[in-house]
Amino acid sequence: MQKWNRFQYLPVRSLGKDGRMVTGSSEHIRLSRTAAAEGMVLLKNEKHLLPLRKGSRVALFGKASADYVKGGGGSGDVTVAYVRNLCDGMEEKENAGMLSVFAPLNEFYRENVAQQHKAGKNPGYTTEPEVPAELLKQAARECDTAIISICRFSAEGWDRKGEPDDGDFYLSREEQRMVADVTAAFRKVVVVLNVGGMVDTSWFAHNDKISSVLLAWQGGMEGAMAEANILCGDVTPSGKLTDTFAASFDDYPSSSNFNDSEDYVCYTDDIFVGYRYFETIPGAAEKVNYPFGFGLSYTSFDWTCEKTEIDSESIAVTLRVTNTGTYAGKEVFQLYSSAPKCRLEMPKLELRAFQKTDLLKPGESRTITLRVPAAELSVYDEKLAAYVLPAGSYRIFAGTSVRAIREVGVFEVERERVVEQVKNRCVPKKLPQRLKADGSYEKLETGEYAPVYDTVDWPEKAHWTAQHILPNRYGTALPEDRLSFEKVAAGETPIDEFLNSLTDDELITLLGGTPNRGVADTKGIGGLDELGIPAVMTADGPAGLRIVPERGVKTTAWPVATLLACTWDPDIVYAVGEAGSKEVRENNIGVWLTPAINIHRSPLCGRNFEYYSEDPLVAGKLAAAMVQGIQSQHISACVKHFCCNNKETNRYASDSRVSERALREIYLKAFRIVVKEADVWAVMTAYNLLNGIYTSENTDLLSGILREEWGFDGLVVTDWVNWAEHYREVLAVNNVRMPHGSPRRLKKALECGLITREHLITNARYVLMWMLKLD
């Protein structure tokens, strides 16, 4: 097939067997259900209430049993053929003869939720109804076990609430009443949390009336069926937390200044994010209900350290793992390091490697090896502008959570050594202080941002106004005197010769988005058809190919990213990326705008469901697997949002004020892993400013760190309709402004000498080189 053929013609080409479509196929939906169960975390299981015994008589409480939330809103939403809920899941188990379900409650919640939806409330926004007293009494008489379901919904564009009784981080008053009524009526109570981000856990963590809790996250269109699989023992839970669950919202170090201003966020917690804070700062440890890496199983495991191999360049720890219980199951092993005391502030523990076992039968053993390059133990020294390994003894620990570890070796560094010399970049001017390991704060030198002056009489007042300077010439034949990009793709014309043949207007057009074609609704890149440059369409989103309902295409809704992270399993994440990418390809789209890997700095970020973890290593390694799965189908992944988009409030103009060290060690590390280990083809910059400069205009960030230091040679695009200035993006080598450029302003900047034709060619070259990777 001719290269880019599918971009040129609107009818789709099916990729399934026997001419069938893979988009929304039963095969993909089964994979979604499997992946969902892999990432659900069993937080509590006293008296081994779960899995439910055969013949159990179950009553489902909570509107979430009928109002299942498959994922978050905004660009993370997915148009699907259906969504099944927990009532459906447990009734499926009843039909299989595993248990009985109290039908009147299912009918009550289904009818109530349907009425709320009819009244205009969207899934997840419904209110918890009061269960009629007689219905509650009847359920208590006829059933032995109550299952309480709680759901939450959040979305792009707004942040969550962290106030008592808010029905968001905390339970609403209606939910509190329901929980109190159920726990008073039943001796056996299970809680299922259908949530996209962190929530309050104190209401059940130390509550003797609640025996078992399943953190089920948002598992896509079949997530509730995966919940039922775990509750009934068809699947042994193996998910592990990738976030620390503290006793209250106020216990998180980011909470004190999360809402200080809509104009900026001061990252005063510095490198002490998540478990780095709770395991290090005096007095913080006791504030934790469920630690990082924690997760229970229906079975038990024993492990021994067979050998530890350490030299000057690497650490390898080999463990023998045995399933000592009565259920088949999987376990996640984690490797941590503890650095020596040195002149720099250091967290007590840092995750260095992890691996999930295969499914082990009762009595079965397996050997796994956790490896980490010694360079990964380095720390960024701002004064030296270098990653260094301070001298001393680095204790190495292995185990199943940050608090269930044993020492397995010591890595010695005789003399401090520089691992990588870089340059000071993205240095803050407005960060007043940062947290130290002893809980005190270091005062920082502050100053004013360098003023940016434009004395140009711009053709439009708003720099995000779209006015195309070239018409859309879809289907126009190539003029006889022009070179074709198809000849470049065939190796017949050097790319630089082709670039030099383009007019200024054509180059400018390549640096902005192009109109939608086919089923796309987030615009495309390229589109100079008469020159053989295809229009490569883009699509959201992080939980599945997002095609708006009006297009009539139903795709697969996969589990949200936080759930996928809790699998700790790159193989299952790769499989999801590969399958999702086939749906993208089948619909003639070339760029899937995922994964999103911003850090879970605060529980309140409205898009945390799209992101992976509080820890950059987990986020980076699993996102790398996602990227590899996507790009195996010759579809471009686009990792986002680069960087420090950890809050949705005023996201277009909020200034993220963060130290250079925290930036490099926490907020950029996952991106670095994806660039270096997965060779991601595209990066999306964030809306926000980073230390006073829009990320899309930030030369230190893009030309310095991303390209010079990391060696990234792919495409950089903006987030959609940002508030930055296009010509400054060109100078920073942010190649494409989406969903359209500011071509008239860019042309004016060229005329005024703010940019040169060479700047245009440099950026256009990245666009075309990226296109050559696609087919």
**Enzyme catalytic residues:** 719
Question: Amino acid identity of 589?
Answer: I
Q: Is the dihedral of CA 10, 16, 547, 120 positive or negative?
A: positive
C-alpha dihedral sign at 51, 57, 62, 68: positive
Which amino acid is located at 88 in the chain? Answer: D
Q: Which helix (H) or strand (E) holds 114?
A: helix 103-118
From 224, 173, 218, select the one nearest 195 (Cα to Cα).
218
Helix pair angle (570-586, 616-631), 10° resolution: 40
Angle at 423 between CA 348 and CA 416, to 5 degrees: 45
Q: DSSP characters for 217-238?
A: ---GGGHHHHHHHHHTTSS---
Contacts of 180 (CB under 8 A, 6+ apart): none
Beta-bridge partner residues of 636: 591
Residues 160 and 166: their CA atoms lie apart, in Å, by 10
* Contacts made by residues 442-445, CB under 8 angstroms, sequence distance 24+: 442/345, 444/659
Bridge partner list, 525:
513, 536
CA of 613: how far to CAs of 245, 560, 564, 630, in Å? 12, 12, 10, 20
Burial class (CB in 10 A: 0-12, 13-18, 19+), 134: exposed
Give the sheet arrangement for strand 386-389, strand by strand: 379-381, 386-389, 417-421
- DSSP secondary structure letter of residue 154: -
User: Where do runs of H (alpha helix) occur along 195-332?
Assistant: 202-205, 223-231, 275-278
- Give the CA-trace dihedral at 527, 533, 539, 542, to 10 degrees: -140
Q: Is 689 in contact with 655 (CB distance < 8 Å)?
A: yes
3-state percent helix, strand, coil for the chain, nearest multiple of 5? 30, 20, 50
SS3 309: strand
Q: Where are the beta strands (DSSP E) in 430-469?
A: 433-435, 441-443
Which DSSP state fits 383? T
Q: Which two tokens stand for residue 373?
A: 């390059």
732, 749 contact by CB (below 8 A): no
Distance from C-alpha of 558 to C-alpha of 484, rounded to nearest angstrom: 40
**C-alpha 104: how far from its chain's center?**
39
d(CA 422, CA 435): 24
Dihedral (CA of 208, 210, 215, 217) sign: negative
3-state secondary structure 675-695: HHHHCCCEEEECCCEECCEEH
Q: Is 298 helix (H, G, I), strand (E, B) or coil?
A: coil
Three-state secondary-structure class, residue 204? helix
Cβ-contact 389, 328 below 8 angstroms = no
Contacts of 342 (CB under 8 A, 6+ apart): 390, 391, 392, 416
CA distance 98 to 92: 9
Output the CA torsion 358→362→366→369 (10° steps).
60
**CB of 434 closer than 8 Å to CB of 424:** no
